[in-house]
Chains A and B, each alone.
Chain A
């Protein structure tokens, strides 16, 4: 594959799936600096993955797979942003807030997802975006029954938390 073709696919994927990438970044990174850092990592991995994309799955599934794998590995890095902290004053932010105001219930949902462990966060995103058990099992590399067990636990946890939240009037 030529670099020109790779560039073309990359630009197309980025414009079509940036909302998906933002969801992953929002669920895995909390501060603006970390969000920028993770977004960069994901973008680099997406770029590298283009020649290995065999079209056995949809673009969306592939992008999710790359984004979640990168986010999980990025989380396990020690002292992620020490390097970028040093040069914070000199760098331009990559992600800039859009004009859309986020619903407070969505903010709450992201916060709850953020409290889950690394793996469960991935499952929550895939679940909320309507992926089937089979697709999730393919993305995560585990069995469908294992996915089912994890989903039941996550659903229960989110419903309980949302009920507690309702009691507080939100």
Chain B
């Protein structure tokens, strides 16, 4: 068959819809989907924002009202507030850049890659962030003269957090790679052709 014949088959057969829509079921499913549609990035951002602000506030409050002299705990509280501020600013930047992409396929893919890159950066940053917080926690334990077992427990907790966040980071990195490969596929002949 030549292409014209394929075209004729297509034209004669695809005018009539293949399926009938069950509108009631469609309506229910869309509503259900809308309700469960929590955006991963927004959740991660808000979670980081709240966890860092609340933890920073608690550490500062306890340290202040107990008249503790632990310098490391004050540094840790400040560090957590700075992290929350950074996440907030990143969120504003991200939302501001949302409308910069056109609605072509390449535009949509560029948007998706940009979102994936943002998630990769955020997860990497938060992974590395466990190190200063872990070190400051250990230093404050040492400064307060607490037991070695407590220090070991805290060390194990931060080590676990570090490895778990590495797993999360890999999920985002794989997702980004997948999107980039699609982007390359779309642009391939643009360079060679």
**A95 cross-chain contacts in B, Cβ below 8 A:** 19-22
Given A40-B26, A93-B25, also A52-B103 (CB < 8 A): yes
**B69 cross-chain contacts in A, Cβ below 8 A:** none
**A51 cross-chain contacts in B, Cβ below 8 A:** none
**Which residue of the partner chain A has the closest CB to B185?**
A119
**B108 cross-chain contacts in A, Cβ below 8 A:** 69, 72-73
The answer to the question of A128 belonging to the interface, with a C-beta cut-off of 8 Å to chain B, is yes
**B17 cross-chain contacts in A, Cβ below 8 A:** 18-19, 22, 98
**Interface-side segment among B1-9, B53-61, B83-91, B138-146:** B1-9
Interface string of A32-43 (1 = CB under 8 A from B): 000000011001
Given the complex of chains A and B, what is the CA–CA distance between A95 and B20 in angstroms? Answer: 6
How many chain A residues touch B (CB < 8 A): the figure is 58
How many chain B residues touch A (CB < 8 A): the figure is 46
**A91 cross-chain contacts in B, Cβ below 8 A:** 25, 29
The answer to the question of B42 belonging to the interface, with a C-beta cut-off of 8 Å to chain A, is no
In contact, B105 and A102 (Cβ under 8 angstroms): no
In contact, A103 and B19 (Cβ under 8 angstroms): no
Chain B interface helix/strand/loop/mixed = helix
Given A22-B18, A140-B186, A146-B189, also A103-B25 (CB < 8 A): no
The answer to the question of A31 belonging to the interface, with a C-beta cut-off of 8 Å to chain B, is no
Given the complex of chains A and B, what is the CA–CA distance between A72 and B106 in angstroms? Answer: 11
Other-chain contact of B19, A43, A92, A96, A117 (Cβ < 8 Å): A96
The answer to the question of B193 belonging to the interface, with a C-beta cut-off of 8 Å to chain A, is yes
Given A44-B30, A44-B33, A128-B6, also A141-B107 (CB < 8 A): yes
The answer to the question of A162 belonging to the interface, with a C-beta cut-off of 8 Å to chain B, is yes
In contact, A158 and B3 (Cβ under 8 angstroms): yes
The answer to the question of A109 belonging to the interface, with a C-beta cut-off of 8 Å to chain B, is yes
Count: A-B pairs, CB below 8 Å: 146
| CB-contacts of B171-193 with A (<8 A) | 175, 178-179, 182, 185-187, 189-190, 193
In contact, B10 and A109 (Cβ under 8 angstroms): yes
In contact, A158 and B6 (Cβ under 8 angstroms): yes
The answer to the question of A76 belonging to the interface, with a C-beta cut-off of 8 Å to chain B, is yes
In contact, A142 and B186 (Cβ under 8 angstroms): yes
In contact, A40 and B18 (Cβ under 8 angstroms): no
The answer to the question of A143 belonging to the interface, with a C-beta cut-off of 8 Å to chain B, is yes
Given the complex of chains A and B, what is the CA–CA distance between A91 and B26 in angstroms? Answer: 10
Which residues of chain A have a CB within 8 Å of any CB of chain B?
14, 18-19, 22-23, 26, 39-40, 43-44, 47, 49, 52, 65-66, 68-69, 72-73, 76, 78, 91-98, 100, 102-103, 105-106, 109, 117-119, 122, 128-129, 138-143, 145-146, 149-150, 155, 158-159, 162-163, 165-166
| 30 A-B interface contacts by CB (under 8 A) | A19-B15, A23-B14, A26-B18, A39-B26, A40-B29, A40-B30, A44-B33, A49-B103, A52-B103, A66-B103, A69-B103, A72-B182, A73-B109, A91-B29, A92-B22, A92-B25, A94-B21, A94-B22, A96-B20, A102-B13, A106-B13, A119-B185, A128-B7, A128-B10, A140-B104, A140-B186, A142-B104, A142-B186, A143-B190, A150-B189
Counting from the closest, the 3 A-B pairs by CB-CB distance are: A141-B104, A141-B106, A162-B1
